[in-house]
Amino acid sequence: MSKIIKPLEAIDSELSKQEILELAEAHSLQIEEGGYDLLKVYIELKRYQLYLDKIVNDLKEAAVKQAKEQGKKSFDYFNARVQIQKRTKYNFETDESWNRLNQKLEQLKEEKKTRETLLKSIAADYIEIVDQETGEVERMMAPIKEMVDQIIVKL
């Protein structure tokens, strides 16, 4: 494993994005075929991911500042294309109509969540419910369940 995880600047800066992905795929195969404890490796890589995400986030503001010093919106640097972009963020809460619509949307989301909880509780293929006011019968179909394996790692 120590030969696969690279120190800073050890991944060749001349590699394209596709080549980096291919290198990662090759390393994944090496790990799988190398007799490693795969769960241990997975957990270790999750630690690296957390570590690298934190560093990238911490350095982002300083990196943007340095990139702006280039005086260009787009330029090549260290075999990468760097673009400086502005993102517009809107706050619509000053508009009463928007607030009413947003409140309705939140209410509908809550109703949907309640309905989903009810549908999940159906033990058979369906149930029939009688509306007390109209006498109308509503057939509620149980949701289709799909079981997917996943792994959760808490560090």
List pLDDT tens digits, range 41-64.
Answer: 999 999 999 999 999 999 999 999
Q: Is the overall model pTM greater than 0.75, yes or no?
A: no
Is it the case that residue 65 has pLDDT exceeding 90?
yes
Q: What is the mean pLDDT of residues 108-118?
A: 97
Distance of alpha carbon 65 from alpha carbon 84, whole angstroms: 10
Write the secondary structure of 79-107 as one string of H (helix), E (strand) and C (coil). Answer: CEEEECCCCCCCCCCCCHHHHHHHHHHHH
Distance of alpha carbon 122 from alpha carbon 13, whole angstroms: 56
Sign of CA dihedral 36, 39, 42, 48: negative
Write the secondary structure of 19-46 as one string of H (helix), E (strand) and C (coil). Answer: HHHHHHHHHHHHHHHCCCCHHHHHHHHH
Two tokens, residue 13: 């800066």
